[in-house]
Amino acid sequence: MSITVPAPDPALAAGLDCPLTVLDLDGTRLPNELLDPHLTDIDEHALTNLYVDMVRVRRLDVEAFALTRQGHLVLWPPLLGQEAAQVGPARALGEKDWVFGSYREHGFALLRGADMGEFSRIWKAYAHSGWDPQEIRMAPSQIIIGAQSLHGVGYAMAAKMDGADEVALTAFGDGATSEGDVNEALVWAASFQAPVVFLCQNNQYAISEPVGLQSGVPLALRPTGFGIPSMRVDGNDVLAMHAAARIAIDRARTGGGPTFIEAVTYRRGPHTTTDDPKRYRDEAEVEAWTAKDPIERVERALARCGANMEAVRAEAKIRADQLAKEFRAACEHAEPPTADEIFDNVYAQPSRRLERQRLEHRAFVSSIEAKA
């Protein structure tokens, strides 16, 4: 007996076998009926900007990885290889739109304008969050897998109730698609036609588990069962990602409801700096994906446009190095929280019971200091 898979929205769910691509590996521009109309304003200058963004995101990632190895950060979940999957959508969002992401959304954090000094505090274990959510319109990063998808849908429902011209984008990985919360988020987004974009970065692994363990069908097929249009996009193609995100954001903003984007990409680094991917995947697989590098692809495209690549690379390097320098300085000079701060912000209205504990802890610390 065969199982009939519901047909995806024919207008959007092209590329189920071969993800939607507009930049070929060699940098040639492939025509694409769906995406091209959303890229008409992307000239050499705009593509250069996306390139510089990706170079900066990668430089931040590489620097943070090194800082972890050098003991300045306690942990880092690298995004190496996923730069296009984040930069493309991040640059499609409006200033008032919101992002609800996981712990690997460094590209979004940087491009939304998070202060890198404060951002580094998360990964120094000095703080649980690294930016003011209302200021950059991005919720605190989320460690519980998929939990933020519901927050994004709730925000979108609220924006719709307020008649606000705003969109919520929620980012999560392939593993999250197995979580109840993501599935509930799809149900709710469809029921309430919430202006939300589901961005699934399918980086092929949930720590060690390959995506095939989460799903036997392309992840982009799943939302169609919920009545949500879906696109399967080459996540290493910043232009395809940018165009797909523009389509989804535009649908949301104009009352079209939710859209799902599966960004087919690859996590070239470990899950985090404590992970050992050699235990679960071959180096040859990593090399194959390295050949699909999202940044080199844009370099080739820019070269084909006739850009002065020496100048473009030099400019990108200056900005990336500056970012890395600032990030390193912030890491090296950050002040740890005080013990007293443990008790802060548990409640908006302080609790008598907790204030007793704070007092007791202070007394204990004083007694130790008096002995010393």
Partner 1 sequence: MTETLTMAKAINAALADSLDGDDRVLLMGEDIGKLGGVFRVTDGLQDRFGTQRVIDTPLAESAIIGTAIGMTYRDFRVVAEIQFDGFIYPAFDQIVAQVAKLHYRSQGRVKMPLTIRVPFGGAIGSVEHHSESPESYFAHTAGLRVVTASTPQEAYSTLRAAIQSDDPVLFFEPKGKYYTKGEVDRQIVRDLETANIVASGRDVTIAAYGPTVDTALRAAIAAADEGIEIEVIDLRSISPLDVDTVVESVQRTGRLIVTHEAPAESSVSSELIASVAERAFAHLEAAPERVTGYDTPYPPSAVEHEYLPSLDRLLDAVDRTLGRRNSRTDLDYAAVTGAAINDGAAR
Q: Which residues belong to the active site? A: 267, 271, 280
Amino acid at 160: K
User: Whose Cβ is closer to partner 1: residue 140's or residue 218's?
Assistant: 140
Phi, then psi, of 256 in degrees rounded to 5: -85, -5
User: Whose Cβ is closer to partner 1: residue 127's or residue 263's?
Assistant: 127
Q: How far is the CB of 181 from partner 1 (least distance, A)?
A: 6
Could you count the other beta carbons within 10 Å of the beta carbon of residue 40?
8
Tokens at residue 49, please? 């900007």
Tokens at residue 69, please? 């190895």
Cα–Cα distance list, 290 to 107, 249, 266, 286, 324 (Å) = 19, 29, 9, 6, 23
User: Whose Cβ is closer to partner 1: residue 75's or residue 80's?
Assistant: 75
Q: Rounded distance, CA 264 to CA 254, Å?
A: 26
User: Whose Cβ is closer to partner 1: residue 44's or residue 341's?
Assistant: 341
Q: How far is the CB of 184 from partner 1 (least distance, A)?
A: 4
Site residues (vs partner 1, CB under 8 A): 98, 100, 127-129, 132-134, 139-140, 144, 147, 149-159, 161-162, 164, 168, 180-181, 184-185, 187-188, 191, 344-349, 351-354
Q: How far is the CB of 106 from partner 1 (least distance, A)?
A: 18
The dihedral region occupied by 171, where left means phi > 0, alpha psi between -120 and 50, and beta the remainder, is beta
Q: Which candidate, 273, 246, 236, 312, places its Cα nearest to that of 83? A: 236
User: Whose Cβ is closer to partner 1: residue 33's or residue 95's?
Assistant: 95
Tokens at residue 190, please? 């469809």
User: Whose Cβ is closer to partner 1: residue 117's or residue 154's?
Assistant: 154
The angle subtended at Cα 174 by Cα 27 and Cα 77, nearest 5°, is 80
The angle subtended at Cα 343 by Cα 122 and Cα 152, nearest 5°, is 50
Q: How far is the CB of 64 from partner 1 (least distance, A)?
A: 20
Q: Rounded distance, CA 137 to CA 131, Å?
A: 10
Phi, then psi, of 224 in degrees rounded to 5: -65, -30
Contacts (Cβ under 8 Å, ≥6 apart) of 264: 19, 202, 232, 233, 234, 235, 236
Q: How far is the CB of 45 from partner 1 (least distance, A)?
A: 34
Q: How far is the CB of 280 from partner 1 (least distance, A)?
A: 27
